[in-house]
Structure 1
Amino acid sequence: MITKYSSALRNGLSLIKPDKFVLQAAIFRCKRAMCSQAPNVQSESWEEERLPFYRPEQFYPVHIGELLNSKYRVVGKLGYGSYSTVWLCHEKSEKKYVAVKVLTNSLPERTLSGELGIYEHLSNLKTSHTGSAYIRGLYDTFDLLGQDGIHRCLVQPPMHMSLHELRMRSTSQRLDEFLFKQTLLCILRALDFLHREANVVHTGMSSITADRREYFLEMTYGVIDIKATNIMLSIDDKSILEDFEKAEQQSPSPKKVVDENRTIYTSRRLRLPNDNLWGQPVLCDLGQARIGHAHRGLIQPDIYRAPEVLFDMGWGHSADIWNLGVMAWDIFEGRHLFSALDEDQEYSPSHHVAEMVAFLGLPPLSFIQRSEETRHVFSEKGEWLGAGGVTIPDTSLERLEEYLSGNGQQSFLQFIRSMLQWIPGNRKTAKELLNDSWLNS
């Protein structure tokens, strides 16, 4: 499967050369701090210092060359996020590279314990399911005692770029049909494992930022946080990590010495694989995952939110399937299926539901009757009311789909609609989707 996916990448994706690659400014709320060039003025904000509400005492002051937990030698900085910095390290005893995510001392305990609980739950499963290989693992955890508190550290396999960034590096800024299908097959195997064997709902897949209202986007190699894209490409070529270490030794990353205890390092890029020999797509970030079939409460990035979540109904595994359907459209078409924005360009649930009606038609009355929240946009007879005068846009999936025609387009839209159903029980399961005729054509 890995060989097949690498072949798909070689044949189906034309990459922009890194020195010519410029991320579109409209995607980001703030600049990435990923380049190897340092700011000119030492007093300027660097890396994590640029985050809104940054407080230095919340971040552990990692130093390159430091030995963490008497076991992990810090090689270089991979990136940072709202609740962490991430470092490539060399594990002494097993002589392998790992990514160590050093969390802030302000990370909510509920978030941390939930993620660790999911990993413990998965590790206790005795499974031969192939989908488990498409879930990012957890090697180890340990604590670091900082001056202002304890910092939990997660040790995981290093990852390369996200699927979103891979798509953005393409000259067409989208995945071609064959590569798209191979990617979905990997993710569906992961979901089938989570749903059927682990009884886990992931709750947060997205192809871009988790929430467009956030002030920044974590797009650093190897960084996985609840606001980041969470489908990453694994690293099969160890020389990528070896070259990272050599580059750091030969040309140390620029750094800002804040005081005698704290130094801010510039994140270093991982080079691209030779001949586009990428690893497989891996589903990451289990921080918001839930164990069990039935839950309530708000989950998922806004434009990926399932209708039962929007209307405060109970939700389960099928919420992931809706999420996947929306994400699949975004990846293949190169743009969002839902905009869900009001006149002030703010996320609006009413506009979101109106777009759902445009694409899927009015929901069955049985769905509307499941929650009193539906009365804001639907009448008792199931007619559209629209809160605040919101109207149903004049659009359709057929009108928006741009890259297929004839039977191919019809089969693709049937595949998308099999995931985007008002009633959760009517959506195909991950196992059923793995056998979809269009996906396997």
Structure 2
Amino acid sequence: MSTMRWTSEPRTFPTSGYELIDAATKIEEETLPSYTPESYYPVEQGEIMNDRYQVISKIGYGSSSTVWLARDLVYILGRETEHEIGVYNHIQSIETDHPGQKNIRKLLDHFFLQGPNGRHACLVHELLGMSMLELDTIGRNLGVIDPVPRLDRAKPLIRRVLYALDFLHQGAQLIHTDLQMRNLLLPAASPARMSTYEENVIKYPLSRKILKDRTIYPTRLFPTGRGLPVLCDFGEARFGDQHNCGMIMPDFHRAPEVILGFPGWDYKVDSWGVGMLAWEFISTRLLITNHRRDGLWDDGAHVAELVALLGHPSREFIRRGTHGHIFWDDNGNWTGLVTIPDRSLEQAAADIEGEDPEDFLRWLRRALQWDPKDRPTILDLFMDPWLMKGMRVRRDDPALKDYPDIVGVVKIID
């Protein structure tokens, strides 16, 4: 029996009328190398969690999570999520007029859910739209993304991320460590569009795979609104006053001090990360090639490509890393263990158009310094003449407006 007064009745979902996927066929999260079913909470469509939140549809998945749309609000489950709860509580406890705080996804509440294999912490977030990665992927698949990227379109996005990061660094003393397009969420779709989406989930059920202990649902395309994105996902965030070491950052974006095994890293990994993110906003070409072999990332090929793009680092920098001797000798000469590819940053940027591509490359080289000691702070990157040029405040920016919580998103981390 419900112990809470509901303002609306739960929806009823169809129990037939959809195709069944063969049990031997791997789909969605099952296709990931690290997948173990015991680590994932077995969500059922229509399930009501914490006597309040009804699951509507699956809208995403990852190596450690599935993401669901739910009525009323957003939540996240996970083994590391109690850390993330602490990070969000810390962020939201800070009283500041720093504009970057508004560019970070808000935590509304949290609770705990008992699954068949353990307890899951659940984070309740404001409703937002799809990620920048999803939007980019859909646009390219439909052929609606301009094949010639322009710098002026990317500047507001880069500024928005830098605003958020400057607040995290200076106001909250936090390092994000996981800057990527999937962690930038666009504003929510209008209430009318969200209501239509919910009705279509019921009218047009997707195929699914039914197993003994769980049902694997396919991801359903999610609507979004217009405006600039906000920064989310603080599961990998670190406090800057602690000794931070070990592997962080997405493979393609990983900073040199992390790859080479420095005894510690600091806020400057985010300076590197925002440079890599800015490239993805602006160029249709990969800056770092896919160096994954048999499911594992090849750090050697990654380092060789960085040499091609940026030149060799200093001997002093090489000596500070545990793994530097693998690639350079004592005199700083390349050992030849991996072949350095024949490409340059200028060649990679050949498709970029706008009034100041040279200034962008100068800004990018500032962010992508081998040695973190040589990298600018986030504020320095923001104040660069290239980003300041043409800057203006949009008072009607829809990303700054509040949206009613008609429905929410559920991200479940193992």
Pairwise same-fold verdict (TM > 0.5): yes
Q: Which amino acid aligns with 1:311?
A: L
1:197 paired with 2:171, answer: yes
Aligned to 2:4: none
Q: Select which of 121, 134, 147 maps to 2:90.
A: 121
Matched residue, 2:254: 305
Shift of 1:306: 1.1
Which of 199, 203, 217 lines up with 1:250 in the alignment? Answer: 203
Q: Note closer, same or farther for the CA distance 1:349–1:415 as it changes in structure 2 (3 Å cut).
A: same
Decide whether the 8 Å contact of 2:187 with 2:229 is kept in 1. Answer: yes
Aligned residues: 366
User: Does the 8 Å contact 1:186/1:281 carry over to 2?
Assistant: yes
For 1:367 and 1:45, locate their aligned partners in 2 and report how far apart those are by CA, in whole Å.
45
Change (3 A) 1:385 1:421: same
Q: Which residue among 272, 276, 284 is the counterpart of 1:334? A: 284
Aligned to 1:241: 194
CA distance in 2, matches of 1:402, 1:147: 53
Shift in CA distance, 340/247, structure 1 to aligned 2, threshold 3 Å: closer
What is the root-mean-square deviation in Å for CA atoms of aligned residues?
3.0
Q: Which runs of 5+ in 2 are unaligned?
A: 1-16, 390-414
State the TM-score, normalized to the length of structure 2. Answer: 0.78
SS of the equivalent of 1:358 reads: helix
Residue 75 of structure 2 corresponds to: 100
Q: Distance in 1 between matches of 2:90 and 2:331?
A: 44
> Pairwise mapping of residues 168-187 of structure 1 onto structure 2 (< 5 A)?
168=137, 169=139, 170-172=144-146, 175-187=149-161
Aligned to 2:384: 436
Q: What runs of 5+ residues in structure 1 fail to find an aligned partner?
A: 1-35, 92-97, 208-228
> Does the 8 Å contact 1:160/1:233 carry over to 2?
yes
Amino acid aligned to 2:361: L
Indicate which of 129, 145, 162 corresponds to 2:131.
162
Q: Deviations over 1:243-285 (max 9, x none)?
A: 22222343444455546x85444443223x5xxx513212221
Cα deviation for residue 423 of structure 1 reads 1.9
Q: Is the 8 A contact 1:174 1:331 kept in 2?
A: no
Query: Structure 1 residues 154 and 253, CA, compared in 2 at 3 Å: closer, same or farther?
Result: farther
The answer for the alignment partner of 1:26 in structure 2 is none
- The answer as to whether partners of 2:308 and 2:343 remain within 8 angstroms in 1 is yes
Percent identity between matched residues is 37
**Which residue matches 1:141?**
110
Pair 364,155 (structure 1): closer, same or farther in 2 beyond 3 Å: same
Indicate how the Cα distance of structure 1 residues 298 and 356 shifts in structure 2: closer, same or farther if over 3 A, else same. Answer: same
Answer yes or no: is 1:60 the counterpart of 2:41.
yes
Question: What SS does structure 2 have at the residue aligned with 1:74?
Answer: strand
- Name the residue aligned to 1:188: 162
1:340–1:355: 8 Å Cα contact kept in structure 2? no
Report the secondary structure of 1:167's partner residue: helix
Which TM-score applies when normalising by structure 1? 0.73
When residues 66 and 348 of structure 1 are mapped into structure 2, their CA distance, relative to the original with a 3 A threshold, is closer
Q: Kindly provide the amino acid, as one letter, of the partner of residue 221 in structure 2.
A: R
Q: 1:90 aligns with which of 46, 71, 76?
A: 71
Higher relative CO (Cα under 8 Å, sequence separation at least 6) belongs to 2
Report the alpha carbon displacement of residue 191 of structure 1 after superposing the two structures with TM. 0.8
Q: Which residue of 2 aligns with 1:367?
A: 317
Instruction: Look up the SS of the partner of 2:107 in the other structure.
Output: coil
Is contact 2:148-2:352 (8 Å) kept?
A: no
The worse-fitting range, judged by mean Cα deviation, of 324-333 and 339-348 is: 339-348
CA distance in 1: counterparts of 2:99 and 2:201, whole angstroms: 36
C-alpha contact 2:164 2:231 (8 A) present in aligned 1: yes
Between the aligned partners of 1:311 and 1:125, the Cα distance in structure 2 is 35
Q: Does residue 51 of structure 2 align to residue 70 of structure 1?
A: yes
